[in-house]
Structure 1
């Protein structure tokens, strides 16, 4: 229920702000607004205080502002000057652009609210390097401090991820400058292409195979009814060895379990200061077209490392506003670059997400707290704003394309050309939505 509520609230806020952008500018331009609708379908609620009818409909996947327009019905001669189609092309451009720009403004306000409280950051220190990943192959080590990514200086993990995503769009090997645990400078070169499409997709999402987290070689959580629980493992158990071979890290334990589906393992642990011997057999499960072992445990975080990793950044009111605007601009630019790279084949369409993934993330961030949820709203608001500015007929950007052409040509684009564009745009948009929904089902249900 929390996921459903968080999703509906997010869509309601983002759509309302988008349509209010159209509404406010239309009113400023003297255009009569007939209806302001949140959602589609038969109205559940109507309210008409003056000339505009305010409506809430049951399908919460969008909304619209209906303006007086001679192309859509009879207009009283006395009101022709208030019809949208009779406005100067610059006014029409302003009205149409106001919706996406309102979403970008909302993102700035949301980020401002988050940043003004102080921003928790993570130092650019690597806590874990996963085996058999581009990061491991590049020679990254636990304790490395990242100094720059593709020539771009970084001072936090957020900046590392943004720089990695930006650099990954080029498809080239990424140069990362680090300072190792002993203080010596070194260069690491990430070549995700050697590891296949999944590694490239992960890198495009900022994950080359290392993370700031560090875990102790000890059990933090045991899944009820799982292999580990049946074998007698308990939270707090320290892992010492398997088959007589010492376990230096949690990552070594994970790799051993993954590589041992259906095999008996003799485990030596320490519990309450006393050594114990246990036996278990990892369950064989299919993952990425291969069989891997799984026992149902999660690691114990290294609390001392986490304390060393975290720091807080505080900005003044105006400094926070500036940071919010910069963050919104950077995220919008990254979104545009990502879409451009999808068009030329440098980014996979598998990264597209639809309403199911958005709903799932809405629920997850809502459970984490208000700040993560506000950051999620800001990110989706930017995505809606950028998507609607794309020059695809049926979207705001498509209308802007026609109006810019009219401005250049000195006359409107023919209705026939517009109708053809609408059909092409609808097919393109429907195809993208279908692909995004397939990705959603694949991510959420393992298809």
Structure 2
């Protein structure tokens, strides 16, 4: 069922993004008077085709849903009747061609603005930026932060939710340190962030600094069991309360987690309270790997009282005008941050393991869809920005590559030579294939293995 929902969510997300992107090209082409021959969602064999409009444009849905294209009248691809030469793409001014090319990525960015606007108007549920007790000797502990502190500002930037903390840290580091932290009640703290690194994406920047979200203590009661997992095979049942492990008392769920994680493939004598009786169950946590460490897992989850977490949630929303302003700001900042991260990958400051491909995107699409409409819309906005930014990169075959050629043409007064464009196409194809292979490799490692 999860596989089906993931697939449907991925196809739906990709379909929306492709239609919006290609609609940008289509509308710009029509606006400057270029004739559009075909509007295709997907590549390969058409599954559905219909001709519609004054120009009898062919509207098509093809078998491979990993993109799309708008085919325009162009003398470089086929002979054009004399009566329609003025409507050929290659006969347009360089400025008109630049507009058509850039309209696709811009459409994706405008879609993100629209989606964020709707989210901010509606209100987005989020986790309050309340701290757990900082890790001893960490930057947060040395700054004097403690459990229960609610962060309201970082480096002058307003913090409304936990997500804001990592977002601000990623933008401020590594260039700014120390960071001034303001907490509810007016307290100010200086956080030395010089020891944080953007790293390879396995450990968040906030966690590196000893900042962790506060979580109410959960009782050590089994709330869910993975079918045929270690816990279920050993005889644990939903509703069982773990009271001791190897003779040591277990008071909260985190105590049990530590016992399990720290003892992979070791026998744990577990005392369980069941129906007012104490029974003993032997558990041997399954050996697993996480961040190059060996840990134990038993396939069990806690019983969660939603009332405990109700006070930890907040809702971020704005007025009509303020929501639109925030939507533009969010889109701009995310776009700029994407470019910065790409630059840091090139310089080696950030690992290429952060690069994601279609499998990871599909997985996130499925997860966000199962989490609700707001989560899926937020995911769609983020991917739309990524698609817009990626297509503006000056790489031949992408919109940004064509834009680069037209800018050169506008400056020098004549088109880029065909031979140069041919070599550029080869380079662009090689670069994109390399990125695709690397991204797919990361997907496989991230989803099916460990590093």
Whether these two folds match at TM > 0.5 is yes
Q: CA separation of 1:319/1:149 partners in 2, compared to 1, >3 Å: closer, same or farther?
A: closer
How high is the TM-score relative to the length of structure 2?
Answer: 0.88
The equivalent of 1:211 in structure 2 is 213
The equivalent of 1:18 in structure 2 is 21
Per the TM alignment, residue 21 of structure 1 is displaced from its structure 2 partner at its CA by 0.3
The equivalent of 1:339 in structure 2 is 342
DSSP 3-state at the match of 1:225: coil
Distance in 2 (CA, whole Å) between partners of 1:428 and 1:280 is 50
1:311-344 deviation digits (Å, cap 9, x = unpaired): 2244333333222222222221221111111111
Equivalent of 1:372, from 372, 375, 397? 375
- 1:294 paired with 2:297, answer yes
Per the TM alignment, residue 270 of structure 1 is displaced from its structure 2 partner at its CA by 4.6
Per the TM alignment, residue 143 of structure 1 is displaced from its structure 2 partner at its CA by 2.3
The equivalent of 1:394 in structure 2 is 397
Per the TM alignment, residue 265 of structure 1 is displaced from its structure 2 partner at its CA by 2.2
Per the TM alignment, residue 431 of structure 1 is displaced from its structure 2 partner at its CA by 0.4
- 1:70 paired with 2:75, answer yes
1:180-225 deviation digits (Å, cap 9, x = unpaired): 9x9965444456668x955x54326x65462344441423322233
Equivalent of 1:115, from 117, 120, 137? 120
Q: 1:138–1:191: 8 Å Cα contact kept in structure 2?
A: no
Distance in 2 (CA, whole Å) between partners of 1:191 and 1:265 is 41
DSSP 3-state at the match of 1:202: coil
Distance in 1 (CA, whole Å) between partners of 2:95 and 2:261 is 61
Distance in 2 (CA, whole Å) between partners of 1:131 and 1:230 is 37
| Number of residue-to-residue matches in the alignment | 442
Per the TM alignment, residue 108 of structure 1 is displaced from its structure 2 partner at its CA by 1.3
1:396-426 deviation digits (Å, cap 9, x = unpaired): 0011111111111122211111111111111
Equivalent of 2:42, from 39, 53, 61? 39
Name which of structure 1's ranges 109-118 and 85-94 shifts more when overlaid on structure 2.
109-118
The equivalent of 1:56 in structure 2 is 61
Distance in 2 (CA, whole Å) between partners of 1:316 and 1:149 is 23
Superposed CA RMSD = 3.0
Q: 1:129–1:210: 8 Å Cα contact kept in structure 2?
A: yes
Distance in 2 (CA, whole Å) between partners of 1:315 and 1:342 is 35
Name which of structure 1's ranges 238-247 and 34-43 shifts more when overlaid on structure 2.
238-247
Per the TM alignment, residue 113 of structure 1 is displaced from its structure 2 partner at its CA by 2.3
Within a 5 Å distance, the mapping from 1:286-325 to structure 2 comes to 286-301=289-304, 303-325=306-328
- 1:105 paired with 2:110, answer yes
1:123-173 deviation digits (Å, cap 9, x = unpaired): 2102476899987898865323234445544232121121122234x3877
Q: 1:192–1:203: 8 Å Cα contact kept in structure 2?
A: no
The gaps in structure 2 that reach 5 residues or longer are none
- 1:85 paired with 2:90, answer yes
Distance in 1 (CA, whole Å) between partners of 2:291 and 2:142 is 20
The equivalent of 2:150 in structure 1 is 145
DSSP 3-state at the match of 1:36: strand
1:68-116 deviation digits (Å, cap 9, x = unpaired): 1122121222222111111111111111000000001111112222222
Q: 2:139–2:191: 8 Å Cα contact kept in structure 1?
A: no
Q: CA separation of 1:176/1:263 partners in 2, compared to 1, >3 Å: closer, same or farther?
A: farther
Distance in 1 (CA, whole Å) between partners of 2:351 and 2:128 is 30
- 1:95 paired with 2:96, answer no
Per the TM alignment, residue 268 of structure 1 is displaced from its structure 2 partner at its CA by 4.0
Equivalent of 1:409, from 412, 415, 419? 412
The equivalent of 2:365 in structure 1 is 362
DSSP 3-state at the match of 2:266: coil
Distance in 1 (CA, whole Å) between partners of 2:241 and 2:194 is 35
Distance in 1 (CA, whole Å) between partners of 2:164 and 2:398 is 32
Within a 5 Å distance, the mapping from 1:189-338 to structure 2 comes to 189-190=192-193, 197=199, 201-203=202-204, 208=208, 210-218=212-220, 219-247=222-250, 249-270=252-273, 277-301=280-304, 303-338=306-341
How high is the TM-score relative to the length of structure 1?
Answer: 0.88
1:340-367 deviation digits (Å, cap 9, x = unpaired): 1111111111111111111111111111
